[in-house]
Amino acid sequence: MVKIAERLDKIELSGIRKMFEAKPKGAINLGLGEPDFDIPENVKMAMKNALDEGQTHYTHNMGIPELREEIAKKLKKDNNINTNPDSVMVAVGASEALYISTQALFEKGDEVLIPDPGFVSYKGCVDLSQAEAIPIELDFNNDYKMTVEDIENKINKNTKGLILNSPSNPTGAVMDKEDIKTISDLATDNDFIILSDEIYEKIIYTKKHHSPAQFSDNVITINGFSKTYAMTGLRVAYLTGQRDIVDEILKVHQYNVAGASSISQIGAIEALKGPQNYVDNIVKEFKRKRDLIISRLTKMGLNCPNPEGSFYVFPKVNNGNKFAQMALNTGVVTTPGVSFGESSKNNIRMSYATSYEEIEEAMNRLEKVV
Ligand SMILES: Cc1ncc(COP(=O)(O)O)c(C=O)c1O
């Protein structure tokens, strides 16, 4: 075989996908982070019409201007972020937004702080940029919420970035406003950049979401349509930040994908402009499922903070890999905690973005073996 580039030596494929692909017939999937709802009807219609109208050509590299305008308005209204369409870039999923941001901003010699446990792509993207990923261990006793104290002593002259993710995958933790503000001040004072992954912004129960970009200019805000509007397969998201930085990120985006899908962008415009009761309804339903899964896991004796957002639970078990195997043998796909960082070998992630009935059945199966 031809020699593969050395920088791939450290890269591992996602543990989530491995479990998903090993799914036996009849197993219930609590492994993937994908809402089980259909996309909103108005979004579907807008995309169908766009197809009929032949809107199937390349769009502007940065994204369709009308979409970028709507995103800028949304960021002002929901997040109190002052930006303008010229500083908004549409990406092929938050996955691409994360990849192109890390490629544009980080390099060998840089240190980038990432949450541990944290979403699988963070370490992968930082490793691919050849910077060093520095895990920030999150504390079970603080419900896995990242605090200023967690990161303060990890900052040094090589610190170039910090990835924040609130609400979090895999823990469901929602950071407190004070911590977000103080961490944003740290970014300004120490001249590092925050990549704020806000993809679960709307999947939140009792607390309020706060964006670090309200408090510092040293922030790239990443958000998208996969989770809020169940548009995972349509691959459309966005990022915004200081215009000069976004212009640099565009170089990676342009030579990577050229632009996002025209039809998906038209769906995204409709998602933002159309009625938002769809989102309220799915959040209500997620909350019902969260309450079910937490009460059943607690009855089984599994220790787990009550998640405030996203659609995952992250209980402690004796051994995450063994638990996942045992769960698989009883017909339930879960993800071992170690997929999200070394500190979580004794955790397991379960996604409750599946039907209420399937969650009940999965809990019945697990109850017999736990
Ligand atoms: C925290 C987090 N960020 C980003 C993504 C990627 O989202 P997208 O489908 O927009 O690429 C996911 C998907 O699971 C996620 O959980």
* 184-238 tens-digit pLDDT: 999 999 999 999 999 999 999 999 999 999 999 999 999 999 999 999 999 999 9
Q: Is 29's pLDDT higher than 80?
A: yes
Atom of ligand 1 nearest to the CA of 119: 1
Ramachandran angles phi, psi of 186, nearest 5°:
-60, -40
The rounded Å distance from CA 34 to ligand 1 centre is 9
Q: What was the pLDDT predicted at 36?
A: 84
The 8-class DSSP code of residue 318 comes to S
Rounded distance from Cα 169 to ligand 1 centre (Å): 9
Q: Which residue's CA is the closest to the ligand 1 atom numbered 7? A: 94
Q: What is the pLDDT of residues 60-105, one digit of tens each?
A: 999 999 999 999 999 999 999 999 999 999 999 999 999 999 999 9
Relative to the CA of 94, which ligand 1 atom is closest? Answer: 10
Q: Using the mean position of ligand 1's atoms as its centre, give its distance from the Cα of residue 162 in Å.
A: 17
Q: What is the pLDDT of residue 12?
A: 83
Q: Residue length, the chain? A: 370
Determine the distance separating the centroid of ligand 1 and the alpha carbon of 367, expressed in angstroms: 30
Give yes or no for a cis peptide into 65 (omega within 30° of 0): no
**How many CA atoms lie within 13 Å of 136's alpha carbon, on the beta-carbon side?**
26
Give residue 221 CA to ligand 1 midpoint distance, Å: 13
**Residue minimizing CA distance to atom 14 of ligand 1:** 33
**3-state secondary structure at position 316:** strand
Name the band, by pLDDT with cuts 50, 70 and 90, for residue 145: very high
Has residue 16 got a pLDDT over 70? no
Percent of the chain with pLDDT over 90: 91
Sorted by where each starts, the structural domains of the chain and their CATH numbers stand as 6-39+277-369 (3.90.1150.10), 41-273 (3.40.640.10)
> What is the separation of C-alpha 37 from the centre of its chain, rounded to a whole number of angstroms?
18
Using the mean position of ligand 1's atoms as its centre, give its distance from the Cα of residue 115 in Å: 15
**Amino acid at position 125, single letter:** C
Q: How many beta carbons lie within 10 A of that of residue 14, not counting itself? A: 14
Distance 95 CA to ligand 1 centre (A): 6
State the alpha helices, DSSP H only, in 191-261. 243-256
Residues with CB under 6 A from ligand 1: 33, 93-95, 119, 165, 169, 197, 199, 224, 226, 232, 237
**Which pLDDT band holds residue 294 (cuts at 50, 70, 90)?**
very high
State in Å: Cα 299 to ligand 1 middle: 31
Residue-level pLDDT at 15: 65
**Which residue out of 34, 102, 119 has the highest number of ligand 1 atoms within 8 Å of its CB and is therefore the one to mutate?**
119
Q: What is the pLDDT of residues 266-288, one digit of tens each?
A: 999 999 999 999 999 999 999 99
Q: Which atom of ligand 1 is nearest to the CA of 34?
A: 14
Q: Write the residue with the smallest CA distance to atom 16 of ligand 1.
A: 169
pLDDT at residue 17, rounded to an integer: 65
Classified as helix, coil or strand, 161 is: strand
- For the residues 332-360, what does the mean pLDDT come to? 95
Compute, in degrees rounded to 10, the torsion defined by CA atoms 115, 121, 123, 124.
180
Q: Which backbone phi and psi does 197 adopt, to 5 degrees?
A: -90, 105
Question: Closest Cα to atom 4, ligand 1: which residue?
Answer: 94
Q: What is the CA(338)–ligand 1 centre distance, in A?
A: 18
The closest residue, in CA terms, to atom 13 on ligand 1 is 33
